[in-house]
Structure 1
Amino acid sequence: MDYAFDFASLLPYAGIMAKGLMETAIYAALSILFGLMMGTGCALTLVYASKAWRRLVRCYVEFFRNTPSLVQLFLIYFGLPVIGLHLSPPVAGVIALSLYCGAYMTEILRAGLISLPRGLTEAGEALGLPRRHIISHVLALPALQNIFPALASQMVLTLIGTSLISQIGVEEIFHSGSFVESRTFRSFEIYMVICGLYFFAVSLMKVLLRIVWYRFQARR
């Protein structure tokens, strides 16, 4: 039997899909922001902190880099209530994505710091700068230049990874698309639309990151 494509039947649900796209952007932005904050703190800990703190951070990084992100999500949303910690689906989703993103950003940022020549740190020390000023004023920009492509790639992967949180009922693109599919039974059409929306979101993020990169280069 020939299959007749009917994308027009999805038009009444355009508002639902648009809302899902906006929700995806919000969850991705929050996860990237929190992941970057966690990654920065953990990377500095791995490079400059005591051995005990480094071991603690290493356990976090290895756990979240070597276990499936879907299992991590279920552990946070379905597992934490066992010990009395109940989280709403959006909160649990953002926490899971942030922890996952932060683990990878930790390694990326750590690589940026250790890739710099020792002479930069020694120059800051020779000027009598405290360590926090050496990191922020001397090391931050050169390190960021070395790792920006890897950092941007991880941000894109985090955006794509928001599809996982639909599994706990968070209303993002994939969840909205699944709802529409259950009403229209146009599986091929709706999943093509979902792919198109993710492609649009990722392309827009890449444009924004490219603008940031060019401005960063101009500043340097």
Structure 2
Amino acid sequence: MSYSLDFSAVVERLPELLLACLSTIGLAIAGMSLATIIGILGVIARRSTIRPLRAAVIAFVEVIRNTPFLVQIFFIFFALPQFGIRLNPTVTAIIALALNGGAYAIEIIRGGVDAIPKGQVEAGLALGLHKAQIFRFIVLKPALRAVYPSLTSQFIMLTLTTSVCTSIAAYELTSVAQKIEADTFRSFEVYFSITLLYLVISSLMMGVFAIINRLSFSYPVK
């Protein structure tokens, strides 16, 4: 039996798909922003002299990195209500993305921080800088510069992971595509189209990250 391609159904629902792309980007940006904060705070806690705090960060990283994202988002959405914590799908998706991305960000940033020579820290102390200033200017910024490619690659993966959020009916590109496919029965056309849309989203993200890299981490040419 021959199959006749027909993208007219996709073209008619293109505004819905584009709106869903914006929602996907919104989820990704929210997740990445919180993941970055979690990553930095996690590194600070990981380097703390308080053992229970260090142990808590290590346990958090191990649990997140060694369990599927689908299980994590199901736990937040379906298990937490048993304890009276009820979250809507969008908030659940953002929290799950933030926790997942944050765990990986902690390890990536920690690798960059550990690579900073101790002599630089000692030089900062000799100049009379506070510990917060040393961490911010002497440790954190060079570390972020060093791990920026790895961190952005992880965030691109986090952007694509938003597709899993359709499992809890969060509004994003894959969930809208499933609805269109169910209405039109044009599976190939719908999923081929969103494949292209995900490629466009990833390319845009990479372009934005490249601009941020040039503006934030490049040294001025004299």
TM > 0.5: yes
Structure 2 SS opposite 1:48 = coil
The answer to whether structure 1 residue 194 and structure 2 residue 189 are counterparts is no
Matching of residue 217 in structure 1 with residue 209 in structure 2: no
Partner residue in 2 for 1:7: 7
Q: In the TM superposition, what is the alpha-carbon distance from 1:47 to its structure 2 partner?
A: 1.9
> TM-score of the superposition, structure 2-length normalised?
0.96
Q: Could you tell me how far apart the structure 1 residues matched to 2:142 and 2:154 are?
A: 19
Q: Which residue of 1 aligns with 2:78?
A: 78
CA separation in 1, counterparts of 2:85 and 2:144? 37
User: Which SS does the other structure have where 2:13 is aligned?
Assistant: helix
Q: Please name the residue that 2:25 is paired with.
A: 25
**Alignment of structure 1 residues 128-207 onto 2, 5 Å:** 128-207=128-207
CA separation in 1, counterparts of 2:220 and 2:162?
A: 32
How much does 1:214 deviate? 2.0
Deviation at 1:219? 4.5
Task: Tell me by how many angstroms 1:141 deviates.
Answer: 2.2
2:104 is matched with 104
Q: Which moved more, 1:138-147 or 1:52-61?
A: 138-147
**What's the secondary structure of 1:54's corresponding residue?**
helix
Query: What letter is aligned with 1:40?
Result: I
| Ranges of 4+ aligned residues in structure 1 off by more than 2 Å | none
Distance 2:80 2:220 in 1: 45
**2:169 alignment partner AA:** G
> Aligned partner of 1:143: which letter?
A
Whole-Å Cα distance in 2 between the matches of residues 70 and 210 of structure 1?
30
**In 2: Cα distance, 1:175 partner to 1:49 partner:** 45
Question: CA separation in 1, counterparts of 2:194 and 2:169?
Answer: 17
Cα distance, 1:46–1:219 mapped onto 2, change above 3 Å: farther
TM-superposed CA distance for 1:11, in Å, is: 1.4
CA distance in 2 between counterparts of 1:144 and 1:109 reads 7
Q: Tell me, in whole angstroms, the C-alpha distance in 2 between the residues paired with 1:48 and 1:135.
A: 13
Opposite residue 46 of structure 1, the aligned amino acid is: R
Residue 37 of structure 1 aligns to which amino acid in structure 2? Answer: I
Q: Distance in 1 between matches of 2:175 and 2:49?
A: 42
- The size of the alignment, in residue pairs, is 220
Q: Which runs of 5+ in 2 are unaligned?
A: none
Give the fraction of aligned pairs with identical amino acids, expressed as a percent: 34
Q: Match of 1:54?
A: 54
